Each structure stands twice: as C-alpha cells, then as structure tokens.
Amino acid sequence: MDLHDIRQDYSQQSLSEADCCAHPLEQFQKWLTEAIHAKVNEPTAMNVATVDQHGRPNARIVLLKEVTEKGFVFFTNYHSRKGRALSQHPYAALTFFWPELERQVRVEGVVLQLAAEDSEAYFRSRPYSSRIGAWASEQSSVISSKAVLMTRAATFGAKYLLNVPRPPHWGGYLIEPELVEFWQGRPSRLHDRIQYLREKGLWIKQRLAP
C-alpha cells in the first residue's frame, strides 16, 4: 500500500471567527458536546505531550475528566513518566481529534496539580477495581511479568476490602490554556483554523493559514 495515495477531502462544515464563542473554553464545551451527541469514538481522549529533563518530548493518550472555568483536568500517577516530566517542566500540549466531525482542537498551557480534596472527590467516584489498580500499578516502572501486577492487585484488594483510600502519589492535573486552536477540515486542504491567544488576561481570536 502506498501511503501517498491515502487521502480524504473534508467538506462537512466550515468555521469562521464569527462562529466562535468569545472564550475558548466555551467554544470547546460546544464542540465536545457536539462530538458526544455525534457518538464520536472516545470523544474525551486527548494526546498529552510533555517534555522531560533532557528537552525530549513524550506523548500519550489520556482521558479528559473535566472542563472547568480554568481549564482541562485529567488524573494520573504523579510518579509516572508524564508526572515526573510535569514536575520538572509544568507545561503541556493537548490534542483532541474527532475525525467523524473532521475536527481537531489543540491546547497549550501551564499545568498545576489539583487540590487534594478535588483529587479525593474524583477518586471516590471511580469503580472499586480502578481504585485498587491505582495502588497496584507503579506506573511507567519496569516489571518482570504481568504476574507481578496481578499479585499487587490481589494484595491491595485484600488490604482494602471495602474502603480504598486515594494513594498519595495519585491525583489530578489542571491545564490552564494559553493557546487554543480549533481546526475544521475543508476541501482542497484549505482548512479553517481559528486560534485563541491569551494576552494580558484577554483572549484574542486569530485566523491561521492551513
């Protein structure tokens, strides 16, 4: 198969500055709601890119768990590779891709750890097995076999039969956006790109060349 021949012409919708809300988080909520209603596969899945202590980028798919008036929230193990990277360089880039709607959203911003009580509240809402899994998995560490993980899960399951406390190394992050771009696919690769850039506390909308 020749990858050069794989092409798709986008033509579902267009996007103008006038179409977009004044605030990027409001516009994101609008698009996310449309993605959910359109039954897009994994609409909350986002690529989270970080930079390590050597300046090398690393990316992975994580699920968005909340959009607040301040930004985007996800949860993870603070000792994981991304957690270590964020402790050294508290900046991240997010990418959402909804091919069914021919849309993409890019976010760049500062990353903050959520307050402990907010992480506690979400952790309590997770299924029992997921709470045990947060204890069992020393995320991003090398293990000799799957049996190691299953044994740890059984151990913590026996220890916490009913009430599973939140591990101190597990919690949420808030990405406060400084740049948000909305991309709408268009014919002939003349895509619509509307960027929100925060300057001195105000959001400025700009059209970018595709």
Of the given ranges (8-17, 53-62, 77-86), which has the lowest mean pLDDT? 8-17
In a domain, 131, yes or no: no
Task: State mean pLDDT over 9-23.
Answer: 93
Q: Is 70 annotated as a binding residue?
A: no
In a domain, 150, yes or no: no
* 195 pLDDT higher than 90: yes
The residue segments making up the domain with residue 49 are 12-126+168-208
Rounded to a whole number of angstroms, the CA Rg of the chain reads 20
* 7 pLDDT higher than 90: no
> What pLDDT does 68 receive?
96
Of the given ranges (2-6, 44-48, 61-65, 169-173), which has the lowest mean pLDDT? 2-6
CA–CA separation, 103 and 57 (whole Å) = 24
Q: Is 191 annotated as a binding residue?
A: yes
Domain count, the chain: 1
Q: Is 128 annotated as a binding residue?
A: no
> What pLDDT does 4 receive?
85
In a domain, 35, yes or no: yes
Pair 64, 95: CB distance under 8 Å: no
Task: State mean pLDDT over 142-171.
Answer: 96
Q: If 0-12 CB within 10 Å is exposed, 13-18 middle and 19+ buried, where does residue 159 land? A: exposed
In a domain, 84, yes or no: yes
Pair 48, 82: CB distance under 8 Å: yes
In a domain, 159, yes or no: no
Q: Is 107 annotated as a binding residue?
A: no
Of the given ranges (2-6, 17-21, 197-201), which has the lowest mean pLDDT? 2-6
Q: Is 122 annotated as a binding residue?
A: yes
In a domain, 146, yes or no: no
pTM of the model: 0.93
> What pLDDT does 176 receive?
98
In a domain, 142, yes or no: no
Indicate the pLDDT class of residue 169, thresholds 50, 70 and 90: very high
Q: Which residue stretches of 89-190 are H helix?
A: 116-125, 128-136, 146-159
* 5 pLDDT higher than 90: no
Average pLDDT, the chain: 96
Report, as residue numbers or ranges, the catalytic residues.
Answer: 189
> What pLDDT does 36 receive?
98
Q: Is 126 annotated as a binding residue?
A: yes
DSSP letter string, 3-72: GGG------S----GGGS-SSHHHHHHHHHHHHHHTT-SSTTEEEEEEE-TTS-EEEEEEE--EE-SS-E
In a domain, 33, yes or no: yes
pLDDT (tens digit, 9 = 90+) per residue, 90-127? 999 999 999 999 999 999 999 999 999 999 999 999 99
Q: Indicate which CATH number applies to the domain containing 33.
A: 2.30.110.10
pLDDT (tens digit, 9 = 90+) per residue, 45-80? 999 999 999 999 999 999 999 999 999 999 999 999
